[in-house]
């Protein structure tokens, strides 16, 4: 599918309040056949998501430590996760320490998932991922670990006001770029 048709289809799925605000752009190199073009998402004409560019204002994590120390990242811990720590402990542990240990374990797992998703994003092909988004259900895209699929789904008109409001807890576990587009969408709902 040509870029213009793909762009047209993606923009037809944009939430009405985001039309004209969020745009999909592509650059290509006409005389350099071995150089692939780049695709990016702009908000109010500012380049927000360029898959290979880490110089924009959205946090791109370099290590697990950065993720664990990020004050904006909230990782909720369930009672089941606390019980799992209690069960794996060899002796009695104070309740407050159990919560800290469970949060640390979950933060480590979350950090590894975020770094893997970031690495996959920089290597991914925007066109292939956009075609996958158009061919799959909105639920699959929202639940995916692929950052780009999450972004495309969050700005999609098929995600209604109620679902956007109910996603507030799950979005906290997503990459900052997904959180950025979620907040943009939530403000327009």
Q: Is the pTM of this model over 0.85?
A: no
Confirm if 67 and 110 have CB atoms less than 8 A apart.
yes
Tell whether 99 is covered by a domain. Answer: no
Structural domain that includes position 182: 3-62+116-188
Per-residue pLDDT of the chain (189 residues; tens, 9 = 90+): 787 898 899 999 999 999 999 998 877 666 655 555 577 788 998 888 876 555 555 666 777 787 777 777 777 888 888 888 888 887 788 888 888 888 888 888 878 887 777 776 655 577 888 889 999 999 999 999 888 899 999 999 999 999 999 998 888 888 888 999 999 999 987
Q: Is residue 120 part of a domain?
A: yes
Q: Is residue 78 a part of any domain in this protein?
A: no
Is residue 101 a part of any domain in this protein?
no
Task: Tell me if 154 is assigned to some domain.
Answer: yes
> Alpha-carbon distance 12 to 67, whole Å?
35
- Domain for residue 12, yes or no? yes
Please check whether residue 108 lies inside any domain of the structure: no
Number of domains comprising the chain: 1
């Amino acid at each position: 599918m040509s870029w213009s048709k793909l762009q047209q289809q993606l923009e037809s799925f944009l939430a009405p309040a985001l039309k004209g605000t969020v745009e999909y752009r592509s650059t290509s190199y006409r005389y350099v056949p071995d150089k692939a073009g780049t695709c990016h998402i702009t908000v109010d004409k500012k380049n927000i998501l360029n898959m290979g560019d880490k110089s924009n204002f959205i946090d791109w994590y370099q290590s697990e430590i950065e993720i664990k120390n990020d004050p904006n990242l909230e990782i909720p811990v369930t009672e089941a996760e606390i019980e799992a720590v209690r069960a794996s402990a060899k002796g009695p542990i104070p309740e407050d320490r159990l919560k800290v240990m469970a949060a640390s374990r979950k933060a480590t797992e979350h950090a590894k998932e975020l770094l893997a998703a970031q690495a996959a994003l920089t290597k991914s092909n925007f066109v292939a991922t956009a075609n996958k988004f158009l061919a799959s259900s909105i639920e699959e895209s929202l639940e995916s670990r692929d950052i780009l699929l999450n972004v495309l789904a969050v700005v999609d008109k098929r995600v209604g006001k109620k679902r956007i409001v109910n996603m507030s807890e799950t979005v906290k576990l997503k990459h900052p770029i997904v959180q950025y587009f979620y907040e943009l969408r939530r403000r327009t709902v």
